[in-house]
Structure formats: C-alpha cells, structure tokens
C-alpha cells in the first residue's frame, strides 16, 4: 500500500516522495495526516489561492493534522 506523502503544517505544501522537511518552512513540522488536495498553477489568478493565502504554485493539502 502506498504511503501518504508528507505535508508541511505551516504552508500546507505537499512534499515529494522521500522528502520529510519543507524547503519553504524548514522549522515547521510535517505530517502524513492531511486531507484535501488543491493544485495551484497561477496563484495570482486563483481565487482559491487567494483565500488560502498561497503565494506560489504547487500541490497543497487543505488540512494538515499534527499529533
């Protein structure tokens, strides 16, 4: 069964397989317990990116839980 990739608890960026530290928020904890998935291609033209305060393109989790 494939393992859920990690997501940053601070910026909610979904990290690539095998990565366990966010390059944008190195001191933030990461978690594999996340839900929701949004792909942002052009943050300046995206209402979702504006509402979620996402400044850069990428794959993001909507909710990240830290235990």
pLDDT tens-place string over residues 45-59: 999 999 999 999 999
Taking 70 as the threshold, does the pLDDT of residue 2 lie above it?
no
Q: What is the pLDDT of residue 67?
A: 76
Is residue 2 domain-resident?
no
What is the C-alpha to C-alpha distance for residues 49 and 31, in angstroms, rounded to an integer?
Answer: 21
Q: Which two tokens stand for residue 33?
A: 């317990």
- CATH at residue 39: 2.20.28.90
Residue 1 inside a domain? The answer is no
Q: Is residue 33 in some structural domain? A: yes
Q: Which domain range does residue 59 map to?
A: 7-64
CB 13 within 8 A of CB 5: no
Place of tokens 């235990």: 67
Query: Residue 7 CB: number of other CB atoms within 10 A?
Result: 27
Number of domains in the chain: 1
SS3 of residue 49 by DSSP? helix
Give the CA count within 13 Å in the CB-facing half-sphere of 59: 11
Answer whether 0.85 is exceeded by the pTM: yes
């Amino acid at each position: 069964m494939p393992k859920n990739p990690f997501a940053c608890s601070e910026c909610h960026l979904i990290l690539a397989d095998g990565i366990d530290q966010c390059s944008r928020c190195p001191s933030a904890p990461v978690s594999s317990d996340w839900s929701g998935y949004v792909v942002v291609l052009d943050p300046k033209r995206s209402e979702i990116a504006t509402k979620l305060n996402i400044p850069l393109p990428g794959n993001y989790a909507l909710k990240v839980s830290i235990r």
